Amino acid sequence: MSDPRQTFARAATALLDEDPSVALVYAEISGQFFADAERSHPDRVINVGIREQLLVNVGAGLALTGMRPIVHTFGSFLVERAFEQIKLGFSHQDVGGVLVGSGGSFDAASAGRTHQAPGDVALIDTLPGWTVHVPGHATEVEDALRLAVAGSGRDYVRVVSQQNTEAFPVRPGRFHVLRRGAGPTVVAVGPVLDAVVAATGGLDATVLYASTVRPFDGRGLREVLSGPEVVLVEPYLAGTSSRVVSDALVDVPHRLLALGVGAEELRRYGTPRQHVAAHGLDAAGIRASLEVFLGQSTRLARERSSART
Amino acid sequence: MTTTTTAGRTRPGYDDLPRLMWLMTGDEKHTAAATSTLDVIWVLYDRVLRVAPEPGWLPDRDRFLLSKGHGPMAYYAVLAAHGFLPEEWLAGWGRFDSPLGYHPDRNLVPGVEISSGSLGHGLPIAVGTALGLRAQGLDARTVVLVGDAELDEGSNHEAIELAGALALDRLTVVVIDNRSSTWNRPGLIEGRFSHEGWEVVTVDGRDHDALERALHSSTGRPTAVVAEVEEKS
């Protein structure tokens, strides 16, 4: 399987070759992958150095002249450090651009909290109209980037090392229905899919897959809903999409379990896999949370029926 | 004084600016001398920038970015004088149904290149703009106006360093220096720019001819024009 970050760099390089309106702005990070692109397009590949506020606003300035900027560094510095630049440089100016943040919640597990950005999607989500791609496979990284660059809107592409075994077509606004069942509906976002599939084995569940989480396919969720139980599994801050599920199901009685990265700081190093497990996002953790949640449903149903008799 | 345009129409001149600003503020104190940015913005639009209202709004137009978005009365007055927006808009400024806010919005006001107000964004955006124009082979200038206190925002220094390193010779920064920065000291602004390889010119921010000369200076390096005006004006 290809490495998602290298796939991003290759795809960005190809896009620079193909389209003279594309520019790449980066801040040292991933520079090891961009030497060829920099040689071929010295005017359109700009390393601003370790200057993230400048990184984002240079992207905005390029967009103001009609170019399509790809703006890249670690998600922690891109979205969290330079958030006001995203808000004002892109949203308030009302210009388009493609932000690509790597590292996600815990690619840099051993580097500690400074390099981890589980809150990136929640922050972007405070701004309307952004398309948020959470690819779960290197192929989806390339497809999402190509789709984003071909458009004219504001896109955030979250590139992380964790991958699923299978890639799905990238189609913003429409989730993939992987399984239909009479029980809970589980929405797996990006790289958590394999764990969700394993965790729901033997359960009569519906499983949806989203590699693009904004726009959120609320209509698709409503269409497949067969019971009141909805489960979100997201690879970033738990509950990030609770609000949009609530909006989609405002007139539908439902219960929501929102799994994701805990807000509490873990203060552990180690590997991404260990962080996945620590946040209960491996198959065993998701299964355990599901059983508690569904057990509550059974108990609630029993209480309701005994109250009637 | 009014100026006759090539279309034979008369348009307001410099002497009309107090009247236009009075439409916004109703305050006679907002004369030229009380508004730090007024002469610089007037000279830019009257003598320097290649810009025109629609349909002259072209990809290779010069870009003027008002980074110091506070107190944009002078900016609106000059835009009105040059026909970018109708004079009738001025009286309603700041109201719910007015396109003219206390900080300008490029999506609401014709001729406004960036929405500004939060300090420290215009110069970094201007660096991106200058790079975008250069990458597209467009021979247009980017001029950004900042305040001396605004330069305290660290984001500016990221931009000053990169613009110097890349020798963005079509980029000009005008610093309105009314010594409103809390820790200001003589030579601080000039030093910040010249240390990063910029051409620095300090002029009287009320002297139109001196401003024009400084704004036309071309050295193969980015230029900072420090326009000195009355303290805290």
- pLDDT (0 to 100) of residue B21: 93
Residue in chain B lying closest to A93 (CA): B115
What average pLDDT does the segment B5-28 reach? 80
Residue A116 has pLDDT above 70, yes or no: yes
A256 or B6, greater pLDDT: A256
Minimum-distance CB partner of A57 among B105, B125, B134: B125
| Residue A100: closest CA among A138, A37, A148 | A148
Question: Are the C-beta atoms of A298 and A203 separated by less than 8 Å?
Answer: no
**Are B132 and A53 an interchain contact pair (Cβ–Cβ within 8 Å)?**
no
Min Cα separation B132/chain A (Å):
5
- Contact A92/B at CB under 8 A: yes
Q: How far is CA A175 from CA A132, A169, A304, B46, in A?
A: 13, 10, 33, 56
- The Cα A25–Cα A27 span in angstroms is 7
Residue A25 has pLDDT above 70, yes or no: yes
- pLDDT (0 to 100) of residue B28: 61
A81 and A134 fall within a common domain:
yes
State pLDDT tens for residues A221-263.
999 999 999 999 999 999 999 999 999 999 999 999 999 999 9
- Contact B66/A at CB under 8 A: no
State which residues form the domain around A67: 4-159
- Contact B159/A at CB under 8 A: yes
A241 and A123 fall within a common domain:
no
Helix (H) or strand (E) holding A289: helix A283-308
- The label of the residue with tokens 């927006």 reads B85
- The Cα A220–Cα A177 span in angstroms is 9
Considering only CB atoms, which chain A residues are within 8 Å of B106? Answer: 93-94
- pLDDT (0 to 100) of residue B32: 54
* A309, part of any domain: no
- Contact B57/A at CB under 8 A: no
- pLDDT (0 to 100) of residue A305: 82
The residue type found at B107 is N
Residue B180 has pLDDT above 70, yes or no: yes
The phi and psi torsions of B52 (rounded to 5 degrees) equal -150, 150
Six-digit token string for A153: 């809107």
Percent of chain B exceeding pLDDT 90 equals 84
A153 and A27 fall within a common domain:
yes
Q: In sequence order, what are the residues at sequence separation of 6 or more whose Cβ sits closer than 8 angstroms to the Cβ of residue B172?
A: B141, B142, B143, B144, B215, B222, B223, B224, B225
Six-digit token string for A214: 């904004």
SS3 (DSSP) at A24: strand
**Are B129 and A62 an interchain contact pair (Cβ–Cβ within 8 Å)?**
yes
- pLDDT (0 to 100) of residue B3: 57
**Are A62 and B132 an interchain contact pair (Cβ–Cβ within 8 Å)?**
yes
Residue B34 has pLDDT above 70, yes or no: no
Residue B70: pLDDT band by 50, 70, 90 thresholds?
confident
Residue B4 has pLDDT above 80, yes or no: no
Min Cα separation B220/chain A (Å):
17
| Residue A213: closest CA among A248, A179, A184, A180 | A248
- pLDDT (0 to 100) of residue A39: 98
Question: Are the C-beta atoms of A158 and A132 separated by less than 8 Å?
Answer: yes
Six-digit token string for A15: 């896009």
A184 and A139 fall within a common domain:
no
Among A134, A159, A184, the domain-final residue is A159
A63 and A123 fall within a common domain:
yes
Residue A210 has pLDDT above 70, yes or no: yes
Considering only CB atoms, which chain A residues are within 8 Å of B154? Answer: 53
* A108, part of any domain: yes
* A308, part of any domain: no
* A302, part of any domain: no
**Are B130 and A61 an interchain contact pair (Cβ–Cβ within 8 Å)?**
yes
Count of domains forming chain A: 2
Considering only CB atoms, which chain B residues are within 8 Å of A58? Answer: 124-125, 127-128, 131, 162
Domains in chain B with CATH codes:
15-228 (3.40.50.970)
Among A103, A125, A159, the domain-final residue is A159
Question: Are the C-beta atoms of B138 and A65 separated by less than 8 Å?
Answer: yes
* A171, part of any domain: no
- pLDDT (0 to 100) of residue A27: 98
Percent of chain A exceeding pLDDT 70 equals 100
Window from A31-35, B8-12, B221-225 with minimum mean pLDDT: B8-12
Residue A63 has pLDDT above 80, yes or no: yes
- pLDDT (0 to 100) of residue B106: 97
- Contact A187/B at CB under 8 A: no
CA A186 to chain centre: 16
Considering only CB atoms, which chain B residues are within 8 Å of A54? Answer: 124, 127, 155, 158-159, 162
A138 and A185 fall within a common domain:
no
- Contact B134/A at CB under 8 A: yes
- pLDDT (0 to 100) of residue B179: 94
- pLDDT (0 to 100) of residue B233: 72
What average pLDDT does the segment A20-39 reach? 98
Among A115, A130, A159, the domain-final residue is A159
Residue A181 has pLDDT above 70, yes or no: yes
Total number of residues shown for chain A: 309
DSSP B78-140: HHHHTTSS-GGGGGGTTSTT-S--SS--TTTSTT------STT-HHHHHHHHHHHHHHTT---
- Kindly report the CATH number assigned to the domain that includes residue A16: 3.40.50.970
pTM across the whole model: 0.95
| Residue A156: closest CA among A166, A141, A167, A168 | A141
Window from A9-13, A195-199, B5-9, B82-86 with minimum mean pLDDT: B5-9
Give me chain A's average pLDDT, please: 97
The phi and psi torsions of A179 (rounded to 5 degrees) equal -150, 145
Residue in chain A lying closest to B108 (CA): A93
Give me chain B's average pLDDT, please: 92
A70 and A205 fall within a common domain:
no
Min Cα separation B159/chain A (Å):
6
Residue A71 has pLDDT above 80, yes or no: yes
Minimum-distance CB partner of B118 among A54, A84, A94: A84
Write out the E strands in chain B.
Answer: 2-4, 10-12, 63-66, 142-147, 171-177, 199-204, 223-228
- Kindly report the CATH number assigned to the domain that includes residue A262: 3.40.50.920
**Are B131 and A62 an interchain contact pair (Cβ–Cβ within 8 Å)?**
yes
Q: What is the DSSP letter of A80?
A: I
SS3 (DSSP) at B202: strand
Minimum-distance CB partner of A51 among B121, B126, B158: B158
* A237, part of any domain: yes
The residue type found at B71 is G
* A249, part of any domain: yes
A223 and A269 fall within a common domain:
yes
A152 and A241 fall within a common domain:
no
Six-digit token string for B103: 């900080």
Minimum-distance CB partner of B124 among A43, A44, A57: A57
Residue B33: pLDDT band by 50, 70, 90 thresholds?
low
In terms of DSSP bridges, do strands A176-179 and A212-214 run parallel, antiparallel, or are they unpaired? unpaired
Min Cα separation B231/chain A (Å):
30
Q: Which of B158, B166, B170, B196 is the best residue to mutate to test the A interface, defined by the most A CB atoms within 10 Å of its own CB? A: B158
- pLDDT (0 to 100) of residue B8: 53
Residue B60 has pLDDT above 80, yes or no: yes
Residue in chain B lying closest to A53 (CA): B155
- Contact B107/A at CB under 8 A: yes
What average pLDDT does the segment B51-68 reach? 91
* A166, part of any domain: no
A61 and A147 fall within a common domain:
yes
Residue B2: pLDDT band by 50, 70, 90 thresholds?
low
A140 and A279 fall within a common domain:
no
A145 and A189 fall within a common domain:
no
- The Cα B138–Cα B123 span in angstroms is 19
- The Cα B43–Cα B68 span in angstroms is 17
Q: How far is CA A101 from CA A66, A75, A76, A90, A281, in A?
A: 22, 4, 8, 16, 21
